[in-house]
Chain A
Amino acid sequence: MASVCVIGGGMAGATAALAARQAGARVTLVARAPGATALAGGTLDVAATRQAWDRAHTTLDAARVLAADPYHPYHRVGLSRLEEAIAFLKPKRFGFDGPGLREAPLVLATEAGTYKPAPFALTSIAAGSLTHGGTIGLVRLGGYHRFPAAFAARSLPWLGERQGRQLEVKVLDVALPERPGPDPSPAEVARILDSEPALERLGAALRAAAREAHVSRALFPAVLGLSESRAARLSEIAGLPCAELVASTPSVPGVRLQRALEAALDFAEVERRQQSVRRVHLRGREVRAVELEDGTEIEAAAFVLATGKFLAGGLRRRSRLEETLFDLPVFYRGAEVGETDLLKLTAAKPWEPQKLFACGVRTDALLRPLGSEGKLLYENLFAAGSVLAGYDAEWEGSGLGVAIATGYAAGLGATGRL
């Protein structure tokens, strides 16, 4: 049985591991800590750009705009592969719900008082899609201060109007059933609401507040339970549809997603090692093994590099921009970045796309990293997710979509099935 070693435990790494496992390989996944996936707000972003969204009716149309760029990972793997990957992954398995790529996206309010499109979101968040209409009650949880409800209640209708969408929004004041410590984090509040009696008390308070305010739905900050969302149960108790907003950072839905990924990996019998990789062992044009912090060497027939960008530690900048594990050259589009001054890789305004965040590893069509001269470096190394060059994930809103598409392709590639 072929063996695959995946480095990185976010969405890209998990997808690669599951795909390789499905193809029959024995898979080890090494991850030192949760990365950017665990900070996701609860949506499965495939292509959320305004530019794409304006011209497009469906998420797939929007992704097509991105895929027109020959350097974009969507171009590299192809949009049919993206759809295949999502079908393989079965987003429902991870708690996602939504119309998918071939329909108009959900329109979801965020904790920042804005909203965004997404083809899938965690069920509790998808339930709050603004496409449903009706009067929304934004819940201000007494004792929890991170969500500025009054501000969002003004900004959401204003933003909606700019897009030709009428929204009626009110603030609902509901006390938390238990008094948390001062300035509780989202996770601390979510933990309180994991308990059924606490949820029942919250539901009773909500029912009273909603009746008085005549709202048809209640939107909560994303704190309704830590391990899984209790929004559906709360809806039953309160007799009113309850949903969560897209979360800010630190994100409880991100924690739920990360846990769901880990559960799926365990279920698929992927061996997980929570350690960092100390060094890699090469043999000619092949990667032979990775050596973990405790000295263990993991040999495999193929390796998938899914170590993320700066946040997760896949890329770093010392005197030059570098990939941390294999010291692969870092590219912006077709050019090696090397020691390029970061000022040249950044735009003057924070709302502009930044070359710096579209830098990464360049690959061949099979997602195998290339060296400085564009030559293949290692026959059995594949790369996936935000360590890849060619897209600015946050600006275009494509992070998890690219992670899934490239993770899937890399996982198949590692087992020789692509």
Chain B
Amino acid sequence: MESRRGDEYDVLVIGGGCNGTGIARDAAMRGLSVCLLEKGDLGAATTGNSSGMIHGGIRYLLHDVSVTRTSCLDSGYIQRIAPHLLFRIPFIYPVLKNQPMPRVYLALAETFFESYDKYQPLKNGKPHTRLTREEVLTLEPGLTTDVVAALTMDEWGIDGHRLCVANALSAARHGAVVRTHTRVESLLRDGNAVVGARVEDLAAGRHYDVRAKVTVNATGPWAPRVAAMAGCEARIRPGKGIHLVTDRRLSNVGIICEAIDGRQVFLMPHENHSWIGTTDDDYYGDPDDLEATRDEVAYLLEAVERFFPAVREARLISTMAGVRPTLYGEGVYEDRLSRAHRILDHAEIEGVPGLLSLIGGKLASYRLFAEEVTDLLCRKLGVQAACRTHREPLPGGEADPLPETWSERFELSPYAARRLAFRQGTVGEKILEEAKEEERQVICACEPVTEAELRHAIRAEWAVTLDDLRHRTRLGMGPCQGALCALRAEAVLAAELDRAPAEAFSDLWRFQSRLWRERRPILAGAELAQEEMRRALCLGLARLHDLVPPPEEL
């Protein structure tokens, strides 16, 4: 990894979200030399805080049919290359009795769903069905009894963090250099041209140059800032979206609810939880300083309550907040903005060669976006190579993992084995094979996550902080929110990285601090009891706040 430092790469990709890692993979597979830089962790911003869906975008049928088609097509490809990372989410669209002329409305809605059916085969989805009131209440007893009928449709969920890691791993296997926790300070110039970046390794505090023929600005909501470093413009209309996370699955299927302003809001199962979201509001703040507000929380709960009354009794354990780098549009509501993507070639727009900025896009079409960008890169660099990212599996997706056999061979609970297979695919077996017996102990019981998986994430997946481990493995994302596992996981980090106690405790504080920020807007009910226990552990028993100075930058 170190050997290329100071050399010139073909491509420098800035940003480790789905687009950045997708481009790094595609470009590396086509033989380009690639360096990928991420200032935080892979997938930790827009991608990791998205709805986690590789969906076809039924709602784009209304005003952007091409988005629906490309989304469905790519959803099919992603299932092929990363089958382990996807899970089916059947959705229901309930019609309530206070809907004016519910029967007519239902017939119209069904026509609309029928038009979506023709795209379903592209993504291995089932055609819609129509459920009677009795059928839908049997399927989902938590629904309001005001329901008169419902329609169903099929979508796919994905772990956005793992998708980014899988792409980055694949890129690295094809020779790309991947550096996380490395921030771009400025762009290097040669006359008008951009020829790389001056960067800072945030952990080591070291500064160095990365030179490249073409620099790709795939920084999502930060794209305007990075473009501005070269005096260029990448205009977006940043749209903040939040989700609420519950301690368990509230419903078996996704439920399409309607908010007070008519927007659709989902209550959907995601891995071990239900996610409620999302919001979509213009965001003028700092994308580095983001948290859910009480208004947003109330808006989502109001929306879901009408369809699923028990949501008020649900235990919320966390929130997620992200900013979409939506294409700029004026005079339209946030919700109606296009989800299409665009490549800005600053050579053509401002006469600044060597810099591309990416704006817009969505998780479901990241691969297609990356393909288009890489096509352009190849043209610019005079390389002829075809895209293979839709055919070649991502690491772990080469075959069906067999967690049933792992749990017997490695004395792991069947559930832990299944969860490992979900995150790691076939790689899970290697992780267990290479681990010592005591390393197969479960550290995070909520998810669950073994010590072996943590060690693998540190050795092979660029994890250097507890938060990185959370993104890689979902450690600390469960109901206890790291109360019982954070210290043990930090001990694993300290051992693997030979980390001094000062640094280890700082990392522990940063982790607690981040999770606290995500929980603060939703504190209520049983979560207060959990909070009291967490404080008893960190403060009352361990006296961490008395002994260890809090980290300075957070």
Contact of B541 among A148, A154, A183, A246 (CB under 8 A): A246
Q: Does chain A have a CB within 8 A of B5?
A: no
Given contacts A155-B504, A310-B532, contact A116 B543 (CB under 8 A): yes
9 further contact pairs, Cβ within 8 A, besides A48-B543, A313-B529: A36-B532, A49-B546, A53-B546, A112-B542, A116-B543, A183-B442, A311-B533, A350-B513, A351-B538
**Per-residue 0/1 for B479-502: is the Cβ within 8 Å of any A Cβ (1 yes, 0 no)?**
000011001101100110000111
Chain A residues in 8 Å Cβ range of B494: 151, 154
Chain B residues in 8 Å Cβ range of A36: 532, 536
Chain B residues in 8 Å Cβ range of A395: 535, 539-540, 545
Contact A110–B541 (Cβ < 8 Å): yes
| 4 residue pairs, one from A and one from B, having the closest CB atoms | A148-B491, A50-B546, A151-B491, A394-B540
Chain B residues in 8 Å Cβ range of A116: 541-543, 546
- Report the Cα distance A354→B487, complex, angstroms: 22
- Report the Cα distance A388→B381, complex, angstroms: 71
Interface residues of A in 300-342 (CB under 8 A from B): 309-311, 313, 315-318, 341-342
Chain B nearest Cβ from A90, distance in angstroms: 24
Chain B residues in 8 Å Cβ range of A113: 487, 501
A-B contact pairs, 20 of them (CB 8 A): A36-B536, A50-B547, A110-B543, A115-B547, A116-B546, A145-B441, A145-B488, A146-B488, A159-B547, A183-B442, A248-B537, A249-B541, A309-B532, A311-B533, A316-B525, A317-B528, A343-B521, A348-B517, A349-B513, A395-B535
- Report the Cα distance A39→B532, complex, angstroms: 11
Contact B501–A154 (Cβ < 8 Å): yes
Q: Does chain B have a CB within 8 A of A137?
A: no
Interface residues of B in 493-520 (CB under 8 A from A): 494-495, 500-502, 504-505, 509, 512-513, 516-517, 520
Chain B residues in 8 Å Cβ range of A351: 509, 512, 538-539, 544-545, 550
- Report the Cα distance A311→B528, complex, angstroms: 7
- Report the Cα distance A148→B520, complex, angstroms: 29
- Report the Cα distance A162→B505, complex, angstroms: 14
Given contacts A151-B504, A351-B539, contact A310 B531 (CB under 8 A): yes
Chain B nearest Cβ from A348, distance in angstroms: 7
User: Closest B-chain residue to A54, C-beta based?
Assistant: B546
Interface centre among A45, A155, A356, A393 (most CB of B within 10 A): A155
Q: Does chain A have a CB within 8 A of B411?
A: yes
Contact of B537 among A151, A249, A346 (CB under 8 A): A249
- Report the Cα distance A309→B535, complex, angstroms: 13
- Report the Cα distance A351→B537, complex, angstroms: 12
Q: Does chain B have a CB within 8 A of A385?
A: no
- Report the Cα distance A120→B315, complex, angstroms: 37
Chain A residues in 8 Å Cβ range of B545: 50, 351-352, 395
Q: Does chain B have a CB within 8 A of A128?
A: no
- Report the Cα distance A158→B494, complex, angstroms: 14
Q: Does chain B have a CB within 8 A of A399?
A: yes
Contact A247–B501 (Cβ < 8 Å): no
Contact B540–A393 (Cβ < 8 Å): yes
Chain B residues in 8 Å Cβ range of A317: 523-525, 528
Chain A residues in 8 Å Cβ range of B488: 145-146, 148
**Per-residue 0/1 for A396-407: is the Cβ within 8 Å of any B Cβ (1 yes, 0 no)?**
010100000000
Contact A350–B523 (Cβ < 8 Å): no
Chain B nearest Cβ from A240, distance in angstroms: 25
- Report the Cα distance A155→B542, complex, angstroms: 12
Chain A nearest Cβ from B292, distance in angstroms: 11
Chain B residues in 8 Å Cβ range of A394: 532, 535-536, 539-540
Chain B residues in 8 Å Cβ range of A343: 294, 520-521
Q: Does chain B have a CB within 8 A of A114?
A: yes
- Report the Cα distance A36→B546, complex, angstroms: 21
Chain B nearest Cβ from A370, distance in angstroms: 23
- Report the Cα distance A155→B495, complex, angstroms: 12
Q: Does chain A have a CB within 8 A of B66?
A: no
Q: Does chain A have a CB within 8 A of B438?
A: yes
Q: Does chain B have a CB within 8 A of A164?
A: no
- Report the Cα distance A294→B88, complex, angstroms: 46
Given contacts A114-B542, A247-B541, A399-B540, contact A350 B516 (CB under 8 A): yes
Q: Does chain B have a CB within 8 A of A357?
A: yes
- Report the Cα distance A341→B297, complex, angstroms: 13
Q: Does chain A have a CB within 8 A of B413?
A: yes
Interface centre among B443, B451, B532 (most CB of A within 10 A): B532
Q: Does chain A have a CB within 8 A of B259?
A: no
Chain A residues in 8 Å Cβ range of B500: 154, 158
Chain A residues in 8 Å Cβ range of B352: none
Contact B532–A311 (Cβ < 8 Å): yes
Contact A148–B504 (Cβ < 8 Å): no
Chain B nearest Cβ from A33, distance in angstroms: 12
Chain A residues in 8 Å Cβ range of B445: 183
Contact B438–A145 (Cβ < 8 Å): yes
Q: Does chain B have a CB within 8 A of A79?
A: no
Contact A310–B294 (Cβ < 8 Å): no
Chain A residues in 8 Å Cβ range of B443: 145
Chain B residues in 8 Å Cβ range of A112: 487, 537, 541-542, 544
User: Closest B-chain residue to A50, C-beta based?
Assistant: B546
**Per-residue 0/1 for A256-295: is the Cβ within 8 Å of any B Cβ (1 yes, 0 no)?**
0000000000000000000000000000000000000000
Chain B nearest Cβ from A341, distance in angstroms: 6
Chain A residues in 8 Å Cβ range of B484: 248-249
Chain B residues in 8 Å Cβ range of A350: 509, 512-513, 516, 535, 538
Q: Does chain B have a CB within 8 A of A390?
A: no
Chain A residues in 8 Å Cβ range of B505: 155
User: Closest A-chain residue to B516, C-beta based?
Assistant: A350
Interface residues of B in 206-260 (CB under 8 A from A): none
Given contacts A36-B536, A159-B547, contact A248 B541 (CB under 8 A): yes
Q: Does chain B have a CB within 8 A of A369?
A: no
Contact A150–B491 (Cβ < 8 Å): yes
Given contacts A145-B441, A342-B524, A351-B550, contact A182 B502 (CB under 8 A): no
User: Closest B-chain residue to A159, C-beta based?
Assistant: B547
- Report the Cα distance A113→B494, complex, angstroms: 13
Contact A151–B490 (Cβ < 8 Å): yes
Chain A residues in 8 Å Cβ range of B411: 182
Q: Does chain B have a CB within 8 A of A41?
A: yes
Chain B residues in 8 Å Cβ range of A155: 501, 504-505
User: Closest A-chain residue to B488, C-beta based?
Assistant: A148
Given contacts A50-B546, A151-B494, contact A183 B441 (CB under 8 A): yes
Chain A residues in 8 Å Cβ range of B528: 310, 315-317, 356
